[in-house]
Chains A and B, each alone.
Chain A
Amino acid sequence: MEKFMYLFRGGDNHAHNANDSAVAQENMQAWMKWMGELGQKGILVGAEPLQPTGKQVSGKNKVVTDGPYAETKEMVGGYLIVNAKDIDEAVEISKGCPVFNENGKVEVRPIQKMEM
Chain B
Amino acid sequence: MPEQSDNTVNKLVDHFFRHESGRMVAVLTRVFGFANIEQAEDIVQDTIIRALETWRFGRLPDNPQAWLYRTARNKAIDLIRREKVKHKIETELAPLLKSEYTLVPAMSEMFKENEVKDSQLRMMFACCHPAITKEAQITLMLKTLCGLSTKEIGRAFLSNEETIQKRLYRIKEKIKEEHISLDYPGADRMPARLDSVLKALYLLFNEGYNSSHPEKLIREDLCEEAMRLTILLTENEKTNQPYTNALLALMCYHASRFNTRLDDNGFIILLKDQNRKLWNHFLIERGNDYLNRSAYEDLIHEYHIEAAIASVHANAKSYEDTDWPLILKLYNSLANRVQNPVVSINRCIALGEVKGYEKAIEELEKINGMSENCYYNASLAEMHLKAGHKKEALKYFQHALTLTSSNAETELIRRKINLCKE
Contacts and interface: CB of A to CB of B under 8 A. Distances in A.
Nearest to A28: B105
B95 A32 contact: no
Interface residues of A, number: 19
A35 B94 contact: no
Nearest to B95: A39
A31 B92 contact: no
A36 B96 contact: yes
Contacts of A28: 105
Nearest to A27: B105
A44 B97 CA distance: 12
Q: Which bracket fits the contact residues of B?
A: 10 to 19
B100 A35 contact: no
A18 interface: yes
A78 B94 CA distance: 20
B318 interface: no
A48 interface: yes
A68 interface: no
B368 interface: no
Given A39-B94, A40-B92, A32 B99 contact: no
A35 B92 contact: no
Interface string B95-109: 110111110111001
B96 A46 contact: no
B101 A49 contact: yes
Contacts of B101: 15-16, 31, 35, 47-49, 78, 80
Contacts of A35: 95-96, 99, 101-102
Contacts of B98: 44, 46-47
Nearest to A37: B95
Nearest to A31: B101
Nearest to A41: B95
Contact of A48 (B92, B96, B100): B100
Interface in B3-60: none
A77 to B, nearest CB: 10
Nearest to A24: B105
A15 to B, nearest CB: 7
Which of B98, B100, B102 gathers the greatest number of chain A CB atoms within 10 Å?
Answer: B102
Contacts of B99: 35, 46-48, 80
B344 to A, nearest CB: 53
A44 B105 CA distance: 18
B352 to A, nearest CB: 63
Nearest to B106: A32
Interface in A16-31: 16, 18, 28-29, 31
A16 B100 contact: yes
A49 B109 contact: no
A108 interface: no
15 contacts: A29-B105, A31-B105, A32-B96, A35-B96, A35-B99, A35-B102, A36-B95, A39-B94, A39-B95, A40-B92, A46-B99, A47-B99, A48-B101, A78-B101, A80-B99
- In the A-B complex, the 9 residue pairs with the closest CB atoms: A39-B95, A47-B99, A28-B105, A44-B95, A32-B102, A16-B101, A48-B100, A35-B102, A31-B101
Interface of A: 15-16, 18, 28-29, 31-32, 35-36, 38-40, 44, 46-49, 78, 80
